[in-house]
Structure 1
Amino acid sequence: MKRLIGLFGNKFFLVTVAFAAWLIFFDKNDLLSHYEYHQQLEKLKAERDFYQKETDKVTKDLDELSSNPQQLEKFAREKYLMKKDNEDVFLVVREKAVEE
């Protein structure tokens, strides 16, 4: 017990504990900030991966549309509702079923 009291009475020990507490809780780069930065970094990495996949997909579609005229025509008809001069286009809109 005397040894424990002597340890807490030692000025070097007290300064070390105070310094560690300052670094862990009160400093600009405390543990909570590091945890938040890590979470934000993981979120940004996931977004980066998502956007890279989307970019690859769009690049593939663009290459396909640039090289294949039939695919380009299909894309224009489906996405932008384009038609030839002698055609009529009818859109069928399905209403959502009403739940009772």
Structure 2
Amino acid sequence: MPRSSKSYIKFLKPFKNVFLLILIVFSVWMLFFDSNSWFIHNELNNEIDKLEEEKDYYKQEIKKDQKEIKKLSTDDGIEKFGREHYKMKRENEEIYIIEYEDSLKQKKNE
């Protein structure tokens, strides 16, 4: 036999062991083809992490909204909200809105 065929046979010698073959096939199956493969499991873990971040964000938003609701539950809070957002006023009261130059929108021609 030529020398290359001996090295080829020497390379294949560990693959004659049935247990090793079964282990290799099982490993490949679990990594790539199974419904619980490592890749799918990794993808799902990343999705879980993103969802947990979203959950924390929404919990913080809920806390902010609850504070706003608490402020608006009083008469003073409702009055303040109406004055600031809807420019409401009491009878016999005048409101002056002061706008500064840097807060005004600039025209493109100027």
* TM-score normalized with structure 2 length: 0.68
Q: CA RMSD in A?
A: 2.8
* TM-score normalized with structure 1 length: 0.74
Say how many residue pairs are matched: 97
Task: List runs of 5+ in structure 1 lacking aligned partners.
Answer: none
How far residue 19 of structure 1 moved from its aligned partner, in angstroms, is: 0.8
Which moves more between the two structures, 55-64 or 39-48? 55-64
Decide which of 26, 40, 44 is 2:47's aligned counterpart: 40
Decide which of 69, 76, 79 is 1:62's aligned counterpart: 69
Q: 1:8 to 1:63 in 2, by over 3 A?
A: same
1:94 aligns with 2:100: no
Task: Encode CA deviations 1:29-60: one digit per residue, 9 max, x unaligned.
Answer: 11111111111111100110011111111111
Q: Which residue of 1 aligns with 2:83?
A: 77
The CA distance in 2 between the partners of 1:53 and 1:71, in whole Å, is: 22
The percentage of aligned residue pairs carrying the same residue is: 33
Which moves more between the two structures, 80-89 or 52-61? 80-89
Task: List runs of 5+ in structure 2 lacking aligned partners.
Answer: 1-6
Question: Rg bigger for which structure?
Answer: 2
Q: 1:23 to 1:79 in 2, by over 3 A?
A: same
